[in-house]
């Protein structure tokens, strides 16, 4: 089975401090990994993806994620958090099924940035 886990339901960080939202995955073969963000009353928005190449991937709004194959992790990071970053963050891994590739999402991590 292929899956993704987000071990923290909630992450609290002070504005201006670095943030990390954790994600680990389990997949057969090479993973395609993604981060999405969900603001209140909105759908998910794509932040970034890792397919191959450089282990550090840069995405929207100053976010980046580091792929670590040995630890099967894909943690989301940002050097300096903003209050406006407060949202629900989802990690996803692409799985194959019937000739199609369906992203499987983690349960989400609520990021709260305090002023």
Partner 1 sequence: DSGVTQTPKHLITATGQRVTLRCSPRSGDLSVYWYQQSLDQGLQFLIQYYNGEERAKGNILERFSAQQFPDLHSELNLSSLELGDSALYFCASSPGTGGEKLFFGSGTQLSVL
Name, in order, each residue with C-beta under 8 angstroms of 18's C-beta and a sequence gap of 6 or more. 77, 78, 79, 80, 81
Can residue 31 be called a binding residue for partner 1 (CB under 8 A)? Answer: no
Q: Which of 72, 82, 86, 105 binds partner 1 (CB under 8 A)?
A: 105
| Six-digit token string for 108 | 């989400």
Q: Within a 10 A sphere around the Cβ of 113, how many other Cβ atoms?
A: 20
Q: Minimum Å distance from CB 84 to partner 1? A: 18
Nearer to partner 1, 13 or 44 (CB): 44
For partner 1, the binding residue among 15, 20, 22, 45 (CB under 8 A) is 45
DSSP 41: T
Q: What is the total count of residues that contact partner 1 (CB under 8 A)?
A: 25
Residue 4 neighbours by CB distance under 10 Å: 24
Instruction: List residues binding partner 1 (CB under 8 A).
Output: 32, 34, 36, 41-46, 49, 51, 90, 94, 97-108
């Amino acid at each position: 089975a292929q899956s993704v886990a987000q071990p923290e339901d909630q992450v609290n960080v002070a504005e201006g401090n670095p943030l990390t939202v954790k994600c680990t995955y389990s997949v057969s073969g090479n993973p395609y990994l993604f981060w999405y963000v969900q603001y209140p009353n909105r759908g998910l928005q794509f932040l970034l993806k890792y397919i191959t190449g450089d282990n550090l991937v840069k995405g929207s709004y100053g976010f980046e994620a580091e792929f670590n194959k040995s630890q099967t992790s894909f943690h989301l990071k940002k050097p300096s958090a903003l209050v406006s970053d407060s949202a629900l963050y989802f990690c996803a891994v692409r799985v194959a099924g019937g000739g199609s590739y369906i992203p499987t999402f983690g349960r989400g991590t609520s990021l709260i940035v305090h002023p």
